[in-house]
Amino acid sequence: MKIIFILLILFIPNIAYTENFNFKKIVDLKDPWGSTFIDENNILITEKGGFIKLVDIKNKSISLINHNLNFIEHGQGGLLDILINDNFVYVSYSENRGNWKTSTSIARAKFDKKDLIFENIFQANPPIDSGYHFGSRLVIKDNYLFASAGERGQGMIAQDPTKHPGSIIRINIDGSIPKDNPKFNGKSNWLPEIYQIGIRNPQGLTLSPFDKKIYMSNHGAKGGDWFGEVKKGENYGWKILGWGGKNYSGIPIGPKWKPGFTKAIQYWVPSIATSAITIYKGDEFNEWNGHALITSLKDQSLRKLIFKDLTSVKEDIIFKNKIGRIRDIQVHPNNGKIYFLAGDSLWLMEKS
């Protein structure tokens, strides 16, 4: 019994003291999903129900921006992630493809504070009649747009590289296809936009400012959440692998991992419902520089991973049950303070 107790202690994450932090509500929103800073005082936010809002975090004011996206709010779908880059706004969303069929789609528009006129640059095919598992996060690296597309609750579709759902997408920022994607490098049966396959519901994606790698989080079933690296031409294994989780019926899905598939850096069983992630860089919490911050929905927590040594990943629970279900996380570009979309609000976390 003593040996079992010691092992349990070793695998319980450290819990940080939330008294070291102040939480401030900036504005109230309705089902916010994605956010992106456009400058030090203004942040663009999507609401799943279809609104794009510009929030002045200094004056705590909200402006509504008109748009022309052909979206539909259906189950987990609606307006999803948003990203600004070189005066262009990119949005991932559930596109209405007719007869209740939808896709995780991506559109871009020139930034304007009043009207955003979007044009599609990607559609996940085939469109599917499902309200589940759209993903979806956006990252830009070296003029390539990376996006996560969920498997829409279709399971083994994530193992079919002739279909987009359940994969990481990589396109040029104008929507054209990079000539070094896997299809042109030994994966001739893959769709040209697909970069990696075998993923369930990837709601976190981020570019590390330190090693310039892209990392992601995946929302598992009944257990099997994980944090890992995006790797060209590889396969995370869903639904051959269950990553330690089970179907909601209680039936085991498959092994946690086996050779031939990409191995995640960290797993969570039972599920914490992983959402957005970032690799922290900033002054406010400078002791966290280079560490991964993992947000969660069901667990309502912020987790910190020290993962430089992959043989000994250290996890800390920074806080839990303070601001509700956390959907997104952003680090202020100047001061390093942290902003969350949680519950129906935009929150600030800073040191006491």
Please report whether residue 284 resides in a domain: yes
Q: Which helix (H) or strand (E) holds 3?
A: helix 2-11
Please report whether residue 34 resides in a domain: yes
Output the CA torsion 236→197→32→79 (10° steps).
-170
The predicted structure's pLDDT at residue 8 = 46
* Domain span at 182: 16-351
Amino acid at 107: A
Output the CA torsion 26→340→47→37 (10° steps).
80
**For the whole model, what pTM was predicted?**
0.94
Output the CA torsion 123→134→167→294 (10° steps).
130
The predicted structure's pLDDT at residue 296 = 98
Amino acid at 201: N
Please report whether residue 11 resides in a domain: no
Please report whether residue 304 resides in a domain: yes
Please report whether residue 166 resides in a domain: yes
Please report whether residue 6 resides in a domain: no
Backbone angles phi, psi at 253, to 5 degrees: -90, -50
The predicted structure's pLDDT at residue 163 = 98
User: What are the tokens at 332?
Assistant: 């202020």
Strands of 204-207's sheet in order across: 204-207, 214-218, 225-229, 266-268
Helix %, strand %, coil % of the chain (to 5): 5, 45, 50
In degrees, to the nearest 5, what angle opens at C-alpha 24 toward C-alphas 18 and 28?
130
Partner residues linked to 144 by β-bridges? 141, 172
If we measure between CA atoms, which residue out of 131, 137, 121, 139 comes closest to residue 85?
139
If we measure between CA atoms, which residue out of 312, 235, 320 comes closest to residue 272?
320
**Number of residues written out for the chain:** 352
Amino acid at 151: E
Rounded to an integer, what distance in angstroms lies between the CA atom of residue 242 and that of residue 246?
7
- CATH code, 168: 2.120.10.30
The predicted structure's pLDDT at residue 181 = 98
If we measure between CA atoms, which residue out of 170, 231, 245 comes closest to residue 201?
245
3-class secondary structure for 261-306?
A: CCCCCEEECCCCCEEEEEECCCCCCHHHCCCEEEEECCCCEEEEEE
Rounded to an integer, what distance in angstroms lies between the CA atom of residue 178 and that of residue 175?
9
Please report whether residue 1 resides in a domain: no
Backbone angles phi, psi at 5, to 5 degrees: -65, -40
The predicted structure's pLDDT at residue 258 = 95
Total domains in the chain come to 1
Handedness of CA 119, 124, 127, 128 (dihedral sign): negative
Find out whether 66 and 116 touch, Cβ atoms under 8 Å.
yes
Half-sphere exposure of 263 (CA within 13 A, CB side): 7
Average pLDDT by stretches of 10, the chain with 352 residues: 47 62 97 98 98 98 98 96 98 96 98 98 98 96 98 97 98 98 97 98 98 97 96 98 92 94 97 97 97 97 96 96 98 98 98 93
User: What are the tokens at 54?
Assistant: 């510009």
The predicted structure's pLDDT at residue 6 = 45
User: What are the tokens at 142?
Assistant: 């070296």
Please report whether residue 233 resides in a domain: yes
The predicted structure's pLDDT at residue 126 = 98
The predicted structure's pLDDT at residue 20 = 87
Find out whether 271 and 298 touch, Cβ atoms under 8 Å.
yes
